[in-house]
Structure 1
Amino acid sequence: MKNIKIILSLLFAALVLQACNDDFLDRGPLDAISDANFWQNEEQLLLAVNGTYAYIKGKNTVDMENMADNTVWPTQTNYRMISSGNYNNDLGTLNTEWTEAYAGIRRCNHFLENYEKAEMTDDALKNRYAGEVRFIRAYLYSYLTFLFGDVPHVTEALNVGDPEVYGERDSREEIVEWILAELTAVAEVLPESYSSSDYGRITKGTALGWKSRVALFYQKFDVAEAAAQEVMDLGVYQLYPDYYELFVSESDASKFPSNRETMFTRIYTTDISMHNLSREIQVPDQSARWNPTKSLVDTYLCEDGRTIQQSPLYDESSYDSLFEHRDPRMKMTILSPGSPWGGREDGNPDNTDNSVFTAPKFNQNRQGSVTPTGYYFSKYCDLDAVPTYNRDENDIIIMRYAEILLNYAEAKLEQGSLTQEDLDNTINLLRERVNMHPMIISELQEWGMDLREEIRRERRVELVLEGQRYFDILRWKRGDLLARDVKGIKKEFIIRQEDVESVPTDEQGYLIFLSGNAFDDSKHYLWPIPLAQRDLNPNLSQNPNW
């Protein structure tokens, strides 16, 4: 099978290079493997490069969606606590993100301090390897600055006893400038593509695309536009024709070169490296782990391009009617009645065909997938992987060409230079793929719809479950969206009313699954520096109001 070689190499490298301890402030020495004996040839260098790939987020990219308002986890988790605003600096996830990032950064630094020792006849290949590692280091620093703001900027492989281990935090702004410069530099030495056996390695387009994402987060709109334009001008990427199919294993770009939309992915392979996302989406004997919110469902426009509040096509007379005459991506993302179903028994006692979904289930009898909101996802759910735990080989997409088009349109808008032609070359390509009404500036004005809100809506709809919503909310300064109650369908649509007798509703009769959420503008746009790290290093200052 394609890519088994690179995955096995990555796993082996992760074991070989365990000299790098997972804790940034509590590391062991490197003498478990002698530098003098290891950095000798191309084979060893490749092992070291692959060891750094282990720190790229996989399913955790999707897990981070639970921090925002697209989906809700049915039980209390660290990510749900972050979403609700009810957490403090001792929350485990904060320290995990910090330590994992710095463990990866240290491994990258260790590579970059030693790679030139290897005897290789191909200097271009050696420089490419260094470019891949420099990208991964910049990628890890991106998340650290997104989440924590100022952080220690370490570009050397520190050991216990080095004074820099107990250094202060460095300026977020300075680190961001360094990240952008690194991404610019590595794009010059990375290839546009690889052979199928090396698929998944960092490319020129990956570096430029990530540069666009980072620049957009920090409102460097001219930089974001230019980087997105460079990706578009490469001519390497194009939209995959089927939006739904893009997220199931049958269309993974690691297996099928016809998928030219995926730009940056974490590869999973049967019996080698797998995850549990599909089963968590439609788990057949417990509560679904991923539950679309009413907020997300209401975001989808009607097929005429108008909101559900405006369009005469919108019909909320029944559960089934909610899905009709909507943006086609709604049915491709959120499970609709009549769709293939992996959750076995559903909420309609008259349904005898467990392979087809008819109604949401609320009774906890361990015979089918239960939802607290009345909705389930279908995006990213490979039904073959639902019955058995941790047997999902869907690749996890970290970045794809659709995002580049969205980045370009938003960057142009924020600079006041967005035209209808720009929309036709970006957002309307996404809509054309699913036969959705195009975004037309003059129509939006006529209908009283705000262009900025519609571009943001498009991003939410297109990228749902891809781990970006929380970061979009942060950069748009829309924390108020996280302070709202998490709601579901109208209670009257539920067939077995006895299952929801105790569930509260709002004035319109919609289920209220979660209330008491909060977002404090003075503190919640940054995570607190983890308590464990400040205990280890008293020189680490804390973010405001934590």
Structure 2
Amino acid sequence: PNPTQEYAEMFPWADGTPFDWDKTAAEGKLDEMFVKGDRVPGQKMLQNRVYTRDPRMYETMGVNGALMGLDYSSGTTSGANWEAWVGGSDASQQPATNTGVWATGYRNLKYVGGEFFRRKNPQWSWLQLSDVYLTYAEAILQDGGSLTDAISYVDQVRARVGLKGLAECNPDKNLTTNKENLLEEILRERACEFALQCTRYYDMVRYKRADLFERKLHGLRIYRLNVNGERTETPWYDTEQSSIDNENDERFYEPNKFEYEKFEITTGARIWWTDGFDCKWFLQPFPLSEVNKGYGLDQNPGW
């Protein structure tokens, strides 16, 4: 499935501090929620391009304004920019009608082999060192150990991608003394580290988080703005970027002003969004054929 806006908001800023949609919007900085850079006279593409969020975001999903080519070894990017706005060369009109791979404003990149980068089919990472660290941190927390020790293992995972310490970046959550808050941060960290690796679902099941299952999901609808602040539903990279040579023409320059709007995902709505989450879904049913063999296998409750 495509990542959703809620999923994207789990990824912090590049320094490790939490991303807050409302705060960012109030500061007028939603344009910088993925990428920022300078528009230098005579240069079509943004200069001094900075990826403003947790690097794991760009490894996981395609986002508006990021460059398509991603070297998974060095983390460097190159090539054309993702045009996820309505009418952009990648998203076309699909975000406006809530269909297609860009329906949520994001698209999956993790474990995509060959489609864009002509890479061989990737191998699935069944166990990662970061999984050991985060699992151990959770075990320390649940066994009554030092929360500071638990945080130290989380911080080793964060340090790999240049994020500052968890407690330092969340001073209002009292993570060295508040077990519940620290658990929430560990689960969020797992969601970022193991994005789209079938981990989040089982974490939600382990802790019987019906509240998270019932949470309605949202997409991100993006509109490109011209110099007058008007919406412009046209592509850029393979059209204006390549056909306009006049640097005094606004269309010469890579777009850097957008409107970002959240919208509720209704296509393929889950029953637990409308009728509530049934606790029987925390377990899967055994095949009835096995239960009927009569060797003592009891069906899971509710099935």
> Which runs of structure 2 are paired with 1:121-520 in the superposition (5 Å)?
291-309=2-20, 321-324=32-35, 325-336=52-63, 337-340=65-68, 356-360=81-85, 361=91, 363=93, 370-382=101-113, 385-386=114-115, 392-424=120-152, 426-440=153-167, 444-446=170-172, 450-490=181-221, 492=223, 496=233, 509-514=262-267, 515-518=269-272, 520=277
Q: 1:399 and 1:456, CA in 2 relative to 1: closer, same or farther beyond 3 A? A: same
- Superposed CA offset, 1:495-519 (max 9, x none): 649xxxxxxxxxx742424434315
Q: 1:363 and 1:534, CA in 2 relative to 1: closer, same or farther beyond 3 A? A: farther
3-state SS of 2:68 partner: coil
2:178 corresponds in structure 1 to none
Number of positions where the alignment pairs a residue of Structure 1 with one of Structure 2:
228
3-state SS of 1:307 partner: coil
Q: Please tell me whether the aligned partners of residues 112 and 121 of structure 2 are also in contact (alpha carbons under 8 angstroms).
A: no
Q: 1:314 and 1:396, CA in 2 relative to 1: closer, same or farther beyond 3 A? A: farther
Compare the two structures and name the one with the higher strand fraction: 2
Q: 1:387 and 1:323, CA in 2 relative to 1: closer, same or farther beyond 3 A? A: closer
Q: Please tell me whether the aligned partners of residues 61 and 106 of structure 2 are also in contact (alpha carbons under 8 angstroms).
A: yes
Q: Please tell me whether the aligned partners of residues 84 and 222 of structure 2 are also in contact (alpha carbons under 8 angstroms).
A: no
Q: Please tell me whether the aligned partners of residues 205 and 282 of structure 2 are also in contact (alpha carbons under 8 angstroms).
A: yes
Q: Gapped runs of 5+ residues in structure 2?
A: 36-51, 71-77, 86-90, 95-99, 176-180, 225-230, 235-260
Shift of 1:470: 1.2
Partners in 2 of 1:309 and 1:319 — Cα distance?
10
Shift of 1:404: 0.2
2:242 corresponds in structure 1 to none
Shift of 1:522: 3.1
Q: 1:396 and 1:495, CA in 2 relative to 1: closer, same or farther beyond 3 A? A: farther
Q: 1:298 and 1:338, CA in 2 relative to 1: closer, same or farther beyond 3 A? A: closer
Q: Please tell me whether the aligned partners of residues 16 and 166 of structure 2 are also in contact (alpha carbons under 8 angstroms).
A: yes
Q: Please tell me whether the aligned partners of residues 363 and 370 of structure 1 are also in contact (alpha carbons under 8 angstroms).
A: no
Partners in 2 of 1:381 and 1:431 — Cα distance?
24
3-state SS of 2:105 partner: coil
Partners in 2 of 1:329 and 1:378 — Cα distance?
11
Matched, 1:527 2:297: no
Please, what is the CA RMSD of the aligned residues? Answer: 3.7
Q: Please tell me whether the aligned partners of residues 137 and 149 of structure 2 are also in contact (alpha carbons under 8 angstroms).
A: no
Compare the two structures and name the one with the higher helix fraction: 1
What amino acid does structure 1 have at the position aligned with 2:172?
E
TM-score by length of 2: 0.62
Partners in 2 of 1:491 and 1:387 — Cα distance?
22
Q: 1:445 and 1:320, CA in 2 relative to 1: closer, same or farther beyond 3 A? A: closer
TM-score by length of 1: 0.36
What amino acid does structure 2 have at the position aligned with 1:467?
C
What amino acid does structure 2 have at the position aligned with 1:461?
C
Larger radius of gyration: 1
Percent same amino acid at aligned positions? 28
> Which runs of structure 2 are paired with 1:111-126 in the superposition (5 Å)?
none
